[in-house]
Structure 1
């Protein structure tokens, strides 16, 4: 019961510097890989569940009856009305406790208006109920959560739209376009590319730039040039560096970025086999631009046709997106730790395992600063559409 099982890696690429093997929680591995034809999970009352999901949520909801409690705080009762993101996170978590709870977990959902006061009160209720893990899905300040939880040492997963390492027992649980660009660049490096140019979008935040630089350095990538896309040509000394560039990292795909990419090509700065790496910030409309054909994108999300995506569609009659996978993985993480390490297995030390975890949104692990790193599938733009080039690795 307390052992951790290894997960096979057949057919999965290695990122640069990645160890050949890693131990992952066996239960989380079961979230992925099953074909839709092999699935017979989820309640038969899919239509009823769908109607229930579309109704206005109650302030407090409880699912499962296991002794280990997981808490989820949402902003589904916001004055502006619930967002699809909040609903997807909530529904993914409910699905996971039904499928993976195994009589050991219960999920207490606190639906709030997103205000600091209601979040603090929700945290207090979760503390009073002895929650072992708490996730905050809403775009709200979480500074009062520790106060509300009576300073209990309970890990907190933060699903804010700006992933940053927070430390102090709090962990970021989302991956954004900066993470996407970093993982895409590491894929290019693993494919043998060495001379990188990084085109920065206008107005990139200092914190994002720092994360980008730190992430690239962590993969041993030292760009020949990192510059604002609108000024990539630079002065004579800058242009002198632009020789045999074999990888271009473009976080955005706006006019400035596309124009700079075209200039690099026209001026003969790119090697014949240069790889263009984008990010999750690229819009669907940008895929049709001829300048971006054959570009590579490293995108996070649930594996199409997996057990989780099939079960989600069966229950809620809509496709599971990345937010639904986040919700599912909150509970899957708790279920895996309890299954392998017992009821006391959910703690900061366990979450910091360098081996990482495998969930619906591929493999993930937490870094020392509380930030999250996630593997992603690599797609190539072919005829204006995404074509899967390499599935997301199932380990680190």
Structure 2
């Protein structure tokens, strides 16, 4: 498939370097003048990554032919030089328009990283997966024929698993954008931000503030179950436990019933004087409450529907700390008064803000919530091009890397570990109450 690269977008870049894109097997070189300007202040955290509920992964391996490593496509002006080739596998022709839009966002973020940081010897090779496992296998084979040293993508878990089966026979690492943790390992790494890590970070922070008894109220299904299990596991790891849980399937009526059931554990409304006293003092976990913090893994309109139902049933946010996932990381959350004072974990605001501003300057609109993963993938390819080439050992460096969302590193099992901050929802935005780390503790894996 021929993937068109917008020349208008490339001309509008604020700064650039010699760029190498291989499109449909043809090398294209573009030259732009570099400029230097003082960076503007970082904006608040980015919108949350899209939640993709993916189908079950087929565990049946697909037999691949014996590998034959090709010489690889090389632009004429780079003949004789050591070249690093990064293939970008995305569903450009997916039947769903949202998936196609996301693919284009990821491509633009990859182009941005290449223009900003790419050396002359780094080549980016976009390939279309169509959004299917078979499409991913064919795209991976085509990328290997073009000499790819690194696979960035695919977006969906089944496609990433299929790509991994082909790539590992050639010892080529795959950096997938999927949040499906079951596909990681044996050369497949996750560049995404799984919700388990957001839950782990905010649960640990709440535990340090004295919370021992946690509750969960959220949607049924894969995402809700993932968050519920992560909350239970991390509460126990930090000396606490999951004291109550309620799930629902549906809208307002189902949410209302779940909130009512949760409140039946025993809550009473605050008197006016008590409410004033709570507002005037620093929050501390209630000794008498059935639980001291409650996780609400919703976002947008659904979060603004669920949140007020809890105080309506006497679960008061002045007494019980409301917790959230990355779905809270948007403007709608701060518009809901019930959520003010709530906590959630998210990417480093300074790093992510710089990426958002660069993307807006280049393309005229905001990046999607996961576009930064493609940016980081190209940054890793830049690192390899400037050093000793691509290897799993280099990818698993315990000191990690620093990208558009801050600090991150890969474990040997393919899982990603990110340095996240904890934010508090305020009327005028999100306040960082526990900054993201600038370096990792020694690896325990």
Q: TM-score, normalised by structure 1?
A: 0.71
Aligned to 1:316: 363
Distance of aligned partners of 1:147 and 1:379 in 2 relative to their CA distance in 1, 3 Å threshold: closer
Deviations 1:75-106 (A, max 9, x none): 11223446332112111111212222223321
Q: Does structure 2 conserve the Cα–Cα contact (< 8 Å) formed by 1:76 and 1:83?
A: yes
Preserved CA contact (<8 Å) 1:198 1:250? no
Q: Deviations over 1:38-97 (max 9, x none)?
A: xxxxx9820799xxxxxxx96567677660111110111223446332112111111212
1:336 and 2:383 are equivalent in the alignment: yes
**CA shift at 1:159, angstroms?**
1.1
Counterpart of 1:379 in structure 2 is 423
Structure-to-structure mapping, 1:157-172, within 5 angstroms: 157-164=175-182, 166-172=184-190
Please list, as runs of the form range in 1=range in 2, the aligned pairs for 1:36-185 lying within 5 A after superposition.
45-46=11-12, 67-81=83-97, 83-139=100-156, 140-149=158-167, 151-164=169-182, 166-185=184-203
TM-score in terms of structure 2 length: 0.64
State the superposition RMSD in angstroms: 3.7
Larger radius of gyration: 2
What's the CA shift for 1:390? 4.8
User: 1:204 offset after TM fit, Å?
Assistant: 4.3
Q: Deviations over 1:271-293 (max 9, x none)?
A: 86x54321122364443333222
Task: List per-residue Cα deviations over 1:243-276 (Å, max 9, x = no partner).
Answer: 485543332336556534665645xxx886x543
C-alpha contact (below 8 Å) 2:212/2:235 kept by paired residues:
no
- Check conservation: 2:213, 2:241, Cα contact below 8 A: yes
CA distance in 1, matches of 2:437, 2:14: 36
Q: Deviations over 1:197-256 (max 9, x none)?
A: 1314131434554444445555x25325141262434668xxx99648554333233655
Of 373, 381, 395, the residue aligned with 1:351 is 395
Deviation at 1:160, TM superposition (A): 2.0
Deviates more, 1:92-101 or 1:372-381: 372-381
Aligned to 2:405: 361
Is 1:250 aligned with 2:250? no
Partner of 1:276: 322
- How far off is 1:156 after superposition? 0.9
Looking at both structures, which has the greater relative contact order when contacts are Cα pairs under 8 Å and sequence separation is at least 6? 1
Separation (CA, whole Å) in 2 of partners of 1:126 and 1:109: 9
1:176, 1:280 within 8 Å by CA — same for their partners in 2?
no
Q: 1:248 to 1:74 in 2, by over 3 A?
A: same
Distance 1:193 1:165 in 2: 36
| More displaced 10-residue stretch of structure 1: 109-118 or 381-390 | 381-390
Which of 258, 262, 265 in structure 2 is aligned with 1:232?
A: 262
Residues 273-329 of structure 1, C-alpha deviations (whole Å, 9 max, x = no match): x54321122364443333222112222377478553343223212233432211110
Aligned to 1:325: 372
